[in-house]
Structure 1
């Protein structure tokens, strides 16, 4: 399958909303639930406009992973740009029906290729849960280095988990 990255735009609102609704239960197994309000189109669209504004200010970059016919099959975000240490945090999610097919690995690689040609970002941090072996593999296959595992568990949707921290550097 051929995939491509696209910067988030307001015109993506409706299709991204449907992507999030279709994958809500699946995503909630790995990341905190965004709450009922997020799944009301008006609220979702307002948040999307905020993200677009944040992106236009250079504070974050939001990518959509699309298949060859333009269907959204994943998201990758670079957020919390820190000017002092030239770093951002990476996050991603792939639709349930596309997980396990290498889409996350390809998408992250494309983001890293894009970042490599930018002067302002030198380091990318990422974290996942200790039991999310697939996400760990995506990061390691893209050159991220394991940094640490939090000794204390955090509560994620009612389940106690340990977070693992990774870092990528140019």
Structure 2
């Protein structure tokens, strides 16, 4: 069974492999990270780990029993009891309920371990899988429309105590 782990320096090789292997898949629904992300991966990871140490953000990876990264689940810009949730799953790990279960688990961690009872998220209108995960884990649309990399998107919010809803 995959395990959600807090991002550590030793995750670097598996994380970079995950990002490279799934780049085209991700770019179909979320903004592409760009070539500089891969060129400067080590420096970027060091910056993320420093941000995590400072309590600004909380980064997690979903690891399979063989040590492969199946997904990233992040709580970013944590301030005043709120943070922004972001997540991405490897193409081969989709349609198995892993994203929904992991987001639900991360929502619990956010409230209990990180004192973040309010989570915000954004998803492109065309990113039905992410919007479904958000809805199933108790996020509700705020009514705010925005753009992600030029794509129409919706904003969501979830407050502690809002549980998962029944899968459709």
Same fold (TM over 0.5): yes
> Could you tell me which residue of structure 2 aligns to residue 38 of structure 1?
37
State the Cα deviation string for residues 79-130 of structure 1 (Å, max 9, x = none).
01122xx110000000011111111101101111212313631200001011
In the alignment, structure 2 segments of 5+ residues that lack a partner are 161-168
* The one of 25, 44, 47 aligned to 1:47: 44
Distance 1:34 1:168, change over 3 A: same
> Could you tell me which residue of structure 1 aligns to residue 23 of structure 2?
24
The CA deviation at 1:133 is: 1.5
Tell me how large the CA RMSD over aligned residues is: 1.5
State the Cα deviation string for residues 107-165 of structure 1 (Å, max 9, x = none).
10111121231363120000101121111110111111111141x6x463xxx521111
User: Secondary structure of 1:162's match?
Assistant: strand
In the alignment, structure 1 segments of 5+ residues that lack a partner are none
> Could you tell me which residue of structure 1 aligns to residue 100 of structure 2?
105
**Aligned residue pairs: how many?**
160
> Could you tell me which residue of structure 2 aligns to residue 71 of structure 1?
68
- Of structures 1 and 2, the one with the larger relative CO (CA 8 A, separation 6+) is 1
Question: After the TM superposition, which of the residue ranges 56-65 and 133-142 deviates more from structure 2?
Answer: 133-142
Task: Tell me the TM-score normalised to structure 2 length.
Answer: 0.89
User: Secondary structure of 1:64's match?
Assistant: strand
Q: What is the CA–CA distance in structure 1 between the aligned matches of 2:7 and 2:104, rounded to whole Å? A: 18
